[in-house]
Structures are given as C-alpha cells and as structure tokens.
Amino acid sequence: MDYCGIALLITGSFVPWLYYGFYCSLMPKIFYLCLTIFLGLSSVIVSLWDKFSEPHFRPFRAGVFMSFGLSGVIPGVHWLISHGLTSWIESSIRASFTSLIVMGALYITGGLLYASRIPERFFPGKCDYWFHSHQLFHILVICAAVVHYHGITCMADYRLNSPNAVCPAPDEYLEY
C-alpha cells in the first residue's frame, strides 16, 4: 500500500499540471491524462502484485516509478514547444515549468536511492532506524509534492490573472 500511495500521489501531481498546461488544447490534454492514468495504474499493479514484492524485483519496481516520474518530460517538452520561448517571459510560466523539472528530479533521485540502497549499502547496520533509503525515498516524494504545489499555484495564477492566458476561439479549441 505504501508504493500504491506514492503512485497515486504522482498521478495526482500530473493531473493539475496537464489541466492548466494544456488548458486550451483538448486533444493533447486527453492523451496525456490517459497516458498518466495508464502509467499510474501500472505502478499500482507493480506495487500490489505479490510477484513484484520479491527482493530481486526491487530495481524493476524503482524503474517503474522512475519511468512514471520521467513521463512528465514528454508533455513538458510538448508544452514548451507549443507555447514557444516567448511565453518564457512570464515569470509564472518559468516558475511552473521549473517546478515540474525539480519535481521530476526529486522523484528520480528518490527512486535511485531506493533501488541502489543508499546509504545503508555504505553504512551497514547504521541506517536501520533513520535515513534508510526507503525513508529518503518518501522524504523526496513529499518534497516533490511541495514543489508541485508551488508550480501549480503559479500556473493557476497565470491562468486566472494574465492577459496573455486567453484561449483561442472555440472552433480552434480542438487543434493541437
């Protein structure tokens, strides 16, 4: 259930970013939301299936979570290309995109620490109660959630308050 909760947290962190990021682009928003839900369900399955709880599947489980965290790069790059570098002038856009990158880096770092069993690998018996790789993984996931909250707040602020955040006419809404 521990990993299942993390998978749900990662899924939930992508949804508002996709909602605000592709606010005016229906098809990419639906595609990326479906992809996120599929990867989230895959992570939940890997978390709950007894076969994958065996120790030799630890790197595979970590890889699934890291792939899920990295999956945000694809819509992020798409968003950046579709909005162009001129949108980078807006400080809220820069802050939200930077938050997305930092969030992904925190997820990946946590996954790498967990998979490689750092620091307990280097300090056997010293990290049994505190600073175990599993605990560090959770701490980094929580840090990613805080960074995510900041980024989504910036995106929502941009959507609500920026004169540049106007969607095109309704017939252009279905375009990519």
Whether the CB-CB separation of 28 and 162 falls below 8 Å is answered with no
Checking 83-86 for CB contacts under 8 A at 24+ apart, the result is none
Instruction: List the structure tokens of 94.
Output: 């820069």
User: What is the three-class DSSP state of 22?
Assistant: coil
Instruction: List the structure tokens of 100.
Output: 């997305």
Burial 1-23 (b: 16+ CB within 10 A, else e): eebeebbebbbebbebbbbbbbe
132 assigned ligand-binding residue: no
56 assigned ligand-binding residue: no
Q: Annotated binding site, which residues?
A: 134, 138
Q: Annotated binding site for Zn(2+), which residues?
A: 134, 138
